[in-house]
Amino acid sequence: MILITGGAGYIGSHCAIDFMKQGYEVIILDNLSTGHMEIIERLRDFSFKEDVKGSFVDFINADIRDTYALNVLFNTYKIDCVVHFAADALVNESVIDPKKYYNNNVIGSINLLNAMVENNVKKIVFSSTCATYGEPEYIPIDEKHPQKPVNPYGNTKLAMEFAIKDYAKAYGLKYTIFRYFNVIGADSEGISGEWHDIETHLVPNILKADESRVFKLFGEDYDTKDGTCIRDYIDVCDLAHAHTLAYEYLKENTSTIVNLGTGEGQSVKEIFAAVEKALDKKIPLENCPRREGDPAKLIANPELSKNILGWEAKTPLEDSVKNANEWEKTLKSLNNVKNPEPQENFSRKAIL
């Protein structure tokens, strides 16, 4: 049985989809601070499809900072592996409010590790980030690149990488730590996609642009092929499948840390052009000055993930953009529906 923390969010929900497709039972823990109950309902419906081999076992509305809820959860279900996504992930917000990020991303995650140790759960797949590398010293970035985060978000993720490695050495945990690059797209069946109250990601912001909401392009004077930032964009479904492979790998192998990226980079202008092509229309654009702290290039070296997990990105950029656009259409209808009330949770308040 697989516990997915943050499974009502963007990447976590796609991970749940992939695990169920591969025949696994899934439990989701989410406090719905950024996730959505509608996604939980859609995942539950998906699990009943005839071609889905696994099952959606339960949704727990609780917080990883709630040690009581975690203990009840681990005592109630026989969990074999934790796939940990639950975290705050806005870089600018982390600079303004680092207390929030250390409280959730570090203290909450330590609570989770403690619950695993106390309940003899030995496997964890952890969602880290290329933000732990900081300003790149060379491109493409491999796993041996120095880790020098430049913001509290990256610091909290790096802190948890150290914690997981220390817990593994002391308590016998086995882990896969994934350092993500830029994630885009949505599943082709329209079950989930990007749904953020504050949207900071490139593709959905281009898709949302219209005459009343112009897309802002930050910086045209970088040392790149067209003057705009270059990033490594990986489809969310490809990324999700890596987590299933990581769990299967941990059954027989030792711990590992790998990048998840394509090994190729697209500029902001190239992504913008791909979205215009998918929509078959011109999108209003405003050129703005650079944002402080944006590196010119961030591209992964994904060779280790291929060699160790047999994983590589397969989804073409055009398909990622197309699926993201279809999800935006779905999202408009979902935003017009009142968020369903979450079902039972394991918090002390709810039980008492």
Which positions are annotated as active-site residues? 153
How far apart (Å, rounded) are the C-alpha atoms in residues 122 and 174?
A: 6
Report the DSSP beta bridge partners of residue 5.
29, 84
Nearest alpha carbon to residue 33 among 99, 85, 98, 97: 85
Sheet architecture: strand order including 123-129: 55-61, 25-30, 2-5, 81-84, 123-129, 174-180, 256-260
Sequence-distant (6+) residues with CB within 8 A of 115 are 67, 70, 71, 73, 74, 121
CB atoms within 10 A of CB 186: 30
* Residue owning tokens 């994630």: 183
**What is the phi/psi pair of residue 268, to 5°?**
-60, -40
User: Which amino acid is located at 26 in the chain?
Assistant: V
